[in-house]
Amino acid sequence: MKITVGIRRLFFILMYPILWFLSVVLSFYLLSIHIDFINLCLMFSIFFVFRILLLNAFHLFDVSWRFVSVGEVFDLGVALLLSELPSILVMYLVNLALNFRLIIIEFTFSTMFSATLLSLKRVYLTFRSAGGRSKGGRKAILVGDTQRAEKFLRTLEGISSPFFIEGIIATDNARKGNFIRGIKIVGTPYDLTYIVRNRLYDTIYVIGDALRINQLKNLIRECEKSNIRIRVVSIDIAYKNSSIFTVRDVDAEDLLFRGEVTISAEVIEKFINHKRVLITGAAGSIGRELGYQVAMFTPLKLVLLDIDETRVYLLSEKLKKQFPYLDIEYYVADITNEGKINRIFTKEKIDVVFHAAAYKHVPVMERFPDEAVRVNVLGTYVVAKTCAIQGVHSFILISTDKAVEPTSVMGATKRLAEKIVISMARDFPHTSFIVVRFGNVLGSRGSVIPIFNEQIKQGGPVTITHPDMERYFMTTKEAVLLVLEAGSVGKSGEIYVLDMGKPIKIVDLAKELIRLHGLEPDVDIMIKFTGKRPGEKLKEELYSNEERLSKTELEKLLRLKPNGLYNFDYESFVSKVSDALSNYDERHLRKLIQESL
């Protein structure tokens, strides 16, 4: 049976008093004091009331049993100690005979029994892990700095796994031969080649960005030769001294990017905590990650909205299992349906909106410009205008680098969406209208990586439109966390650009993916150039010459000043576009788009 937060709270609330009552009885027996049942029950009741209050104040009923640490056990002792003072005072006021030896012995028993109960599961899982390791489980080695290695090993103690960490490769200055949570530091990254070639371990776990990209590439090649599995331990979030780790296989993101994104978690928490947050396009790659990361910061309610009924339902079910204490709702809706969007906002009393719903595939939108305009332009207008009318605190539009000097229908519609949102900031000062612009997201729907992977699995060729084609890339998690930062600190009427690093040539990305599969480009898998498609650029820009770029107080987040370029009569434009869509006049629609840029 799955242990929910409520069941765990009830278990501790019932078990602690049983142990305390036993402590009182044992104390009477130990001191050979005659047990007066009324006095015993009165003494227990006083202890019970104050201890329950203090343990609840220290959040000790909410502790995850399998992840109990020394800190929680210490807090338990402090809470019990603090409860003694008011308990003794009340006993004195009700004229209960005070025996300080009895109180001290009872406190000692209560603390011992309570601490044993709190740490019991953690101790059991630790010994079980040690027992499994001694029975010859598959050996693994962990690569990372000592601080994150310690956190991961502490997490691993409560997890059943066929792999057991037998050694640590420390990437910081930790001394060889030292121990971390009972695991020996056996070397530095320079020892990895020897370890792999001699097959000393079955699996290698690499924590985040512990190795430089070249080191990781070399390690992958050596592991392939020696038939050793290599896995990446990514840190989903590190906040308030807790971390959530995900163990996965190596993918393209690990070979392209510099390291884990660092965020100002306290700033984001202030923005999200106890707010009603709605995400449009929640079933897409950005929307899904937004839902997960927003949930981490405990909103008052999380509302997921998408037109894809299956994906949005599955996402809501997944998030409810991961965050059972959160209020999560989902809606199937078309963002251009003004009446329904208005009803949803009225019912849910939304505070913050992340607008991720959009059509993003450049060649497809060249074929269907009416759909690009309907969703990307009118949909943005409907959601943003509803926010303004209903007094939503913040609206964050997720835009794209293709909106800069657009050459495609998709890019043009996103540029117009930006203009609408920035212009609304002028007309509705009570709502904060912010635009966040970034480049391609690795692994998203429509991204080149899933396409390349499928082509490689089929034996090639890998098709690329042009040898000089290059793009800015960012991981989904990195993009979403920086979007949250921009929403937290951004000022209404401004555009924020994520620092995407250097652009990457698509052909280089394809070659790395081929090598990641253990193959050689242009030997095992051919690369074929097919020519530029309609609307495509060879290179993308994150901002235009007319936009003034400045730094913010946050790393990787840049601010753009529109310079008054977006004083846009969006009401008139929306009216004309709606008429063109109703008449399905594609020629007039394209003309309106071009004139409005």
CA 436 to chain centre: 18
Of the chain, the percentage scoring pLDDT greater than 90 comes to 28
Check 402, 414, 419, 556 and give the catalytic one: 402
Please give the residue that has the higher pLDDT: either 39 or 373. 373
Q: Can you tell me the mean pLDDT for 444-463?
A: 83
Among 429-438, 455-464, 581-590, which stretch is predicted with the lowest mean pLDDT? 581-590
**503 cis-preceded (ω within 30 degrees of 0):** no
Give pLDDT tens digits for 152-173: 877 766 555 555 788 888 888 7
Most confidently predicted of 50-64, 122-136, 317-331: 317-331
Q: Which helix (H) or strand (E) holds 175?
A: none
Mean pLDDT of 524-543: 83
- The residue among 573 and 8 whose pLDDT is bigger is 573
Mean of pLDDT values over 477-505? 84
Top pLDDT among 548 and 201 is at 201
Confidence of residue 2 (pLDDT cuts 50, 70, 90): very low
Residue 567 has pLDDT above 80, yes or no: no
**Whole-angstrom distance, CA of residue 129 vs CA of residue 118:** 19
Per-residue pLDDT for 39 more than 80? no
Residues 218-225: what's their mean pLDDT?
82
The predicted pLDDT at position 210 comes to 80
What's the pLDDT band for 259 if we cut at 50, 70, 90? low
Q: Average of pLDDT values for 285-312?
A: 93
Q: What is the pLDDT of residues 97-149, one digit of tens each?
A: 778 888 899 899 999 998 888 877 666 655 555 544 444 456 888 888 888 88
**Pairing assessment for the beta strands 462-464 and 504-505 based on DSSP bridges:** unpaired
- How far, in Å, CA of 513 to CA of 31, rounded? 74
Domain segments of the chain: what residues? 5-129, 136-250, 265-441+473-502+541-567
Q: Name the CATH superfamily, with its identifier, for domain 136-250.
A: NAD(P)-binding Rossmann-like Domain (3.40.50.720)
Residue of 511 and 548 predicted with greater confidence? 511
pLDDT of 135 reads 47
User: What is the residue whose two structure tokens read 């060729």?
Assistant: 461
Query: How many CB atoms are located within 10 Å of the residue 327 CB?
Result: 12
Q: Is the pLDDT of residue 90 over 90?
A: no
pLDDT at 189 exceeding the cut of 50: yes
Q: 277-281, 463-467, 468-472: which has the highest mean pLDDT?
A: 277-281
Instruction: Assess contact for 575 and 377: CB atoms under 8 A.
Output: no
The answer to whether residues 424 and 485 touch, using CB atoms and an 8 Å cutoff, is no
Provide mean pLDDT across the span 395-417: 91
Burial label, 148 (beta-carbon count in 10 A; 0-12, 13-18, 19+) = buried
Strand locations in 46-122 (E):
none
Q: Are 393 and 274 in contact (CB under 8 A)?
A: no
Give the rounded percent of residues in the chain with a pLDDT score beyond 70.
87
Whether 270 shows a pLDDT value over 70: the answer reads: yes
Q: Find the range with the poorest average confidence among 21-30, 405-414, 468-477.
A: 468-477
Q: Is 402 a catalytic residue?
A: yes
In tens, the pLDDT along 223-248 reads 888 888 888 887 665 444 445 667 77
pLDDT top residue among 97 and 268:
268
Most confidently modeled of 170-179, 327-336, 432-441, 478-487? Answer: 327-336
* Average pLDDT of every residue of the chain: 83
- The pLDDT value given to residue 473: 78
Instruction: Burial-class residue 386 by CB neighbours within 10 Å (0-12, 13-18, 19+).
Output: buried
SS (HEC) of 392-457: CCEEEEEEEHHHCCCCCHHHHHHHHHHHHHHHHHHHCCCCEEEEEEECEECCCCCCHHHHHHHHHH
Q: What is the rounded CA–CA span in Å between residue 525 and residue 411?
A: 33
pLDDT at residue 262, as a whole number: 60
Instruction: Provide the edge-to-edge strand list for the sheet that holds 229-239.
Output: 179-180, 183-187, 163-170, 138-144, 203-207, 229-239, 242-249
Q: Which CATH number fits domain 265-441+473-502+541-567: 3.40.50.720, 3.40.50.300, 3.40.640.10, 3.40.190.10?
A: 3.40.50.720
Q: Which of 16-25, 182-191, 379-388, 485-494 has the highest mean pLDDT?
A: 379-388
Residue 386 has pLDDT above 70, yes or no: yes
What is the per-residue pLDDT for 29? 85
The pLDDT value given to residue 504: 82
Determine the pLDDT at residue 272: 92
In the prediction, which pLDDT does 244 show?
Answer: 63
pLDDT band at 176 (very low <50, low <70, confident <90, very high): confident
pLDDT-derived band at 444, boundaries 50, 70, 90: low
- pLDDT for the residue numbered 385: 96
Establish whether domains 136-250 and 265-441+473-502+541-567 are of one fold: yes
At 255 the pLDDT is 67
Which of 41-55, 439-453, 565-579 is predicted least confidently? 439-453
Give the pLDDT confidence score for residue 243 in this predicted structure: 55
Nearest Cα neighbor of 355 from 392, 389, 324 is 392
DSSP SS3 for 330: strand
* pLDDT value at 455 more than 70: yes
